[in-house]
Chain A
Amino acid sequence: MDLNYTPEEQAFRAEVRAFVTGHLPADISAKVKHGKRLAKDDFVRWQKILHQKGWGATMWPTKFGGTGWSAVQQHIFEEECAEAGAPLQLPFGLKMVAPVIMAFGNQAQKDHFLPRIVDGSDWWCQGYSEPGSGSDLASLKTKAENKGDHYIVNGQKTWNTLGQYADWIFCLVRTSSEGRQQEGISFLLIDMKTPGITVRPIIMNDGEHEINEVWFEDVRVPAQNLVGEENKGWTYAKFLLGHERTGIAGVGRSKAALKHLKEIARKETSAGRPMIEDARFRDRIAQVELELMALEITNMRVLSAEKEKKAPGPEASILKIKGSEIQQAIAELQMQALGHYALPWLPEALDAAWTGVPVGADYVTPLSGHYFNYRKTTIYGGSNEIQKNIIAQMILGL
């Protein structure tokens, strides 16, 4: 056993760092580091830069235009990107729909969609959840009627992250109401410009527009946009949920957030003493750091063990639970470090172009909203209660 990075891995890290710090646009990293609102173009620009380097899809095999990196290399890359203040590479195209297309899509779908994901041409959003179907996804009702060369889709999806920017949505739709619920679901790729689609914003607890309702009214979808076989969508979805969960551990991002927390705790003072010198507060930071140290290694263990298998197994639920709890704990401590300066709410200050005077230190504005917003991490991607059910049933056999 050796938990140290090999000389090759260290050299790889140096290469990644040199590229990321050298090519990440300063205006974008400034936004990320100061918690400012990101525009669609910020995500897209960074994706295009990575693509040009050949690093657009670090989790894909080379034959589809990915880097074919190992779990360790991906982890190093994620860490370096987070540290540098790169925007998250959104998972919906790269980590969610792409693996499904690779595994179950036809050649035309692979040829058309995959290059457009990796080069940043298409923005994807995920259309799974419905108002009546969250944890119990298999009960979904959005209906797709098979009309031969096309489907007619009617229904409503909800909670679609950044769907307001999306070119495409991948949807689970009901194509049959016979037999088990799971057996009547299909996986459709839908162009967001198709007539009959309406996107309505849902404002979150931080006042921001991050999620949406997507309504379908007699939306005509070409039959060629069906992935795999009709009524087999549930199998593909389960395959995909495993991928979603691996990304959710977010170790690299949490390390960067923890570092930011420590910086804040050095700058915020109580009666002249930095908060980091307050043992009661410092212990709380230390406690999260312990959790994160353990998760970093657990993460590598799970990912390495999965290398041989096709998709991540139920162990990924451990990563989701711990990863989300750690993200929340760090966000909470960042807010707590501010004391009563966590109270002011200046949404205008989240705009990168804002030139006003902050209330309190310049880093305070996004932190409380971030804490509120991050309650989502234990809810989305399969809530932590559902993850525990999975562990109880699939790993422990209870």
Chain B
Amino acid sequence: MDFNYTDEQNALRDTLSRYIAKDYPFEARRALAKSAEGFSRDHWKQFADLGLLALPFPEEFGGLSGNAVDTMLVMEAFGRGLVLEPYLATVVVAGHLIRDAGSAAQKEAILSAIAGGERMLALAHYEREARYKVSLVNTAAKQDGAGWKLSGGKGVVLGGNAADTLLVTANTGKGLSLFLVDAKSAGVAVRSYMTQDGGRAAEIALDNVAVGKDALVGPEGSALPLVERALDYGIAALCAEAVGIMAALDEATLEYLKTRKQFGQPIGRFQALQHRMVDMVIATEQARSMAMMAAVKADSPDAAERRRAISAAKTYIGQQARFVGQQAVQLHGGMGVVDELNVSHYFKRLTMIELTFGNTDHHLGLFSDTLLAA
């Protein structure tokens, strides 16, 4: 076992923490969240320059052949910065999906465009009726000449507001299949909106959207395991982002306990608060351990092992994030519930992470079910 980062990973961490501290200050981020697009194309360009957009892709397609631990480092830093750009949607979820399921031509065209910052993608998979059940899709694809026609509705598509290309799951007669759809195609209606954490998402309606034969990603009817794997990369990344936020909240709260004075002393002198703070730090360390496990297992070729680990991490980190988020707010008193301070923004993002790609209850159920198999 080796818990050390490589020299490259340490360098990546340093670069990222400097970048977040210098180029992603909270006030600027707040303004950005309210801007028309909700994120910055300039930041995106810088991500490309830093190689972040190429991180998980093979070198032959302009990538850096990074692994999920590298993605973890990026997401942890992005958590601290409350980064708004659609990295999770484009690079982590859609990027891995194309990397693992795309044809050589698709990889050639798409991965290098992602890496260069020229194209954004979003996985349009979840549907309202399904809630978090990954296998349930009502969107249908009908053969139409050589190509397909897609109809259905996708809910809360992360990054769907900005995506140039959508990765749409739909059922053909042979089962769940995956299609590349230009977001500007006739019949695609994208309703973008803000999310509670300052991000953006979209409801996407597909009405007889025509796509060509080459739009199919992977073999027809075999998309489910591919989508599950890509979502697991997404979950591992969310776990890392949550840990980045929890660490930032711990720091902010510790600082507050040392500087906020009531009854003539720093509130950190009160033992009730000391113990709470200790519990927060323990929660974050435990969560960090699970985020590391999730990152390592996300790359595992054993799907059952990977699934179990990812659900374990999402459950556990969801619980710890809830505790840390709520207590950070509580220990800040009134200052914890105001928009002006970053604490409330961290708390909201943590809460939304918990609700994304399956909430704690959902993943507890999946994990718990694996006990039956043993």
Contacts and interface: CB of A to CB of B under 8 A. Distances in A.
Contacts of B132: 270, 339-340
Given A135-B263, A343-B201, A344-B193, A202 B340 contact: yes
Contact of B130 (A135, A271, A375, A389): A271
Interface in A277-291: 278, 280-281, 284
A375 B329 contact: yes
B337 A343 contact: no
B139 to A, nearest CB: 15
Contacts, number: 139
A134 interface: yes
A388 B355 contact: no
Interface string A157-175: 0110000000000000000
A232 B156 CA distance: 57
B340 A203 contact: yes
Contacts of A342: 196, 352, 355
A132 B260 CA distance: 9
Contacts of B347: 205, 372, 375
Contacts of B334: 129, 134, 158-159, 211, 376, 379-380
Dominant secondary structure at the B interface:
mixed
A368 B273 contact: no
A339 B359 contact: yes
Interface string A381-393: 0011100110000
Given A134-B262, A372-B337, A385-B272, A359 B193 contact: yes
A43 interface: no
A134 B260 CA distance: 11
Given A135-B263, A379-B334, A346 B344 contact: no
Given A340-B126, A342-B196, A372 B344 contact: yes
Interface string A315-345: 0000000000000000000011011111111
A108 to B, nearest CB: 35
A341 B348 contact: no
Contacts of B155: 340-341, 360
Contacts of B333: 134-135, 379, 383
A222 B339 CA distance: 37
Given A344-B193, A375-B330, A271 B337 contact: no
B194 interface: yes
Interface in B131-155: 131-133, 136, 155
Contacts of A281: 361
Given A270-B133, A372-B347, A379-B330, A341 B336 contact: no
Contacts of B221: none
A220 to B, nearest CB: 29
B103 interface: no
Contacts of A270: 130-133
A136 interface: yes
A372 B348 contact: yes
Given A344-B201, A345-B196, A271 B355 contact: no
Contacts of B262: 133-136, 139
Given A135-B267, A204-B344, A280-B365, 19 more contacts: A134-B333, A135-B263, A139-B263, A158-B334, A202-B338, A204-B337, A271-B131, A339-B355, A340-B132, A340-B155, A340-B156, A342-B352, A343-B352, A345-B194, A359-B193, A359-B203, A369-B196, A372-B344, A373-B337
24 contacts: A132-B261, A134-B334, A139-B264, A202-B338, A203-B339, A203-B340, A204-B337, A204-B344, A205-B347, A207-B339, A211-B334, A280-B361, A336-B359, A339-B359, A340-B131, A340-B155, A340-B356, A341-B155, A342-B355, A344-B193, A344-B195, A345-B193, A379-B333, A383-B330
Interface of A: 129, 132-136, 139, 158-159, 202-205, 207, 211, 268-272, 278, 280-281, 284, 335-336, 338-346, 359-360, 368-369, 371-373, 375-376, 378-380, 383-385, 388-389
